[in-house]
Amino acid sequence: MTHPSVAVVVLAAGKGTRMKSDLPKVLHPLAGQPMIVHVLSAVAPLQPSRVAVVVGPDMENVGRAVAPVPTVVQTRQLGTADAVRAASEMLRDFVGDVIVLYGDTPLITTETMTRMVERRAAPDNPAVVVLGFRPVDPGAYGRLVVSPAGGLEQIVEYVDASETIRSVGLCNAGLMVFDGRRLFELLDHIDDNNSKGEYYLTDAVSLARATGYACAVVEASEAEVMGVNCRAELAEAEKLIQKRFRRAAMDNGATLTDPDTVYFSPDTKLGRDVVVGPSVVFGPGVTIADKVEIKAFCHLEGATVADGATIGPYARLRPGAVIGPAAHVGNFVEIKNGNLGPGAKVNHLTYIGDATIGAKANIGAGTITCNYDGFSKSKTEIGDGAFIGSNSSLVAPVKIGSGAIVGAGSVVVKDVEANALTVARGHQQTYSGWAERFRAAKKK
């Protein structure tokens, strides 16, 4: 279906005092991203011709978080209709559909917004489409009153509702789509004649009906329209979005052996037949290819893992980690800006930083690439098929040739040629009977 052009206004001027934080509410992270970024990500597939985020004074940090989306300032905190008016310069000549969203409602989906826009294009030509939901406990939510034909008649705030209206289970989620040609006709007639002295966007529905315009409702789930006003609600939203990510991963061919303990970022990519063990965390920027196994208690961020690799348990892949096909990264291994070639093995208690490891090389337990001298980072290069003995320190910059062997316990400060053996450790001395004499002396 072809839609008219779409503009989007995201309201984000609220201070979020219940968060008890110096950080604006919409910048609190959900799955590692500010809440408002989730809203804008859901908007992006609609390809809106105009987007603006409404912020309050001194909220430059929100502007930086949403860039390049422009911001406009609501200088007076006088309600939601006043906030939309702050975007009037962007919208005055706009004749498409205007979607009004909230930066603290981060679980809204593209699909729901699309249904709202499609409803706006229906033959009855509604001036306003409101998103509704049916919570388990309607509580103090505003109620949506619909006609027998299904049209929206009015939004009634709980404090103003009769017992009959309070018994209605359909509640207002706050998100709306307006006909841009009629938006300012409605906004200009909204007044502040209420107990709070604010301009409520919800009044647009009664004004539209009084003018003879149709209004309509689209419904969404209670989880999708959850607003976040405090840290407890933020934690609940994290549970909901992670449940969404986990289901998507499994639907796309990954096995999560204990789904409730696996945490994703919005951009995590998992291939087919990936197996993820318990208590794994995917930070931003992780791509996992097919048939990879990620064992329990791993943390990955900014990493790429190729087909058939095995990671963990208790492994940490930091930004710049590139793990080749069928490579092994074992327990208590940390890799940062390191590239493991196909079939390479780093199985135990090892740090690989700013390093290139060749195909089928084997890195022994306790090995460290000493990449930082306190001032700059240097690179270690290990060739194909090299063998690095346990408890070795490779002091960068250094190159270990293909097929070379480094003896256990070595501190390597010079390049090692291909197929050579290098041993760099102190001379071993043995004193017969010394241990027995030592113990006897301690007993005196």
Q: Supply the residues annotated as catalytic.
A: 348
Own/partner pairs, 368-374, CB within 8 angstroms, 24+ separation = 368/392, 368/393, 368/394, 369/338, 369/394, 369/396, 370/394, 370/395, 370/396, 371/396
Tell whether omega for the bond before 397 is within 30 degrees of 0, i.e. cis: yes
CA 11 to chain centre: 20
With 0-12 / 13-18 / 19 or more C-beta atoms within 10 angstroms meaning exposed / middle / buried, residue 52 is buried
The b-or-e profile of 33-46 (16+ CB within 10 A means b, else e) is bbbbbbbbebbeeb
Nearest-angstrom CA–CA distance, 100 and 130: 10
The answer to whether the beta carbons of residues 113 and 205 sit under 8 Å apart is no
- Dihedral pair phi/psi, residue 263, rounded to 5°: -120, 135
Nearest-angstrom CA–CA distance, 23 and 16: 9
Give CA angle at 360 (357, 361), nearest 5°. 50
Torsion sign across C-alpha atoms 258, 260, 264, 269: positive
Nearest-angstrom CA–CA distance, 298 and 366: 18
CA distances from 386 to 337, 357, 363 (A): 20, 9, 8
The answer to whether the beta carbons of residues 406 and 388 sit under 8 Å apart is yes
Nearest-angstrom CA–CA distance, 10 and 276: 36
CA distances from 98 to 13, 109, 175 (A): 18, 16, 11
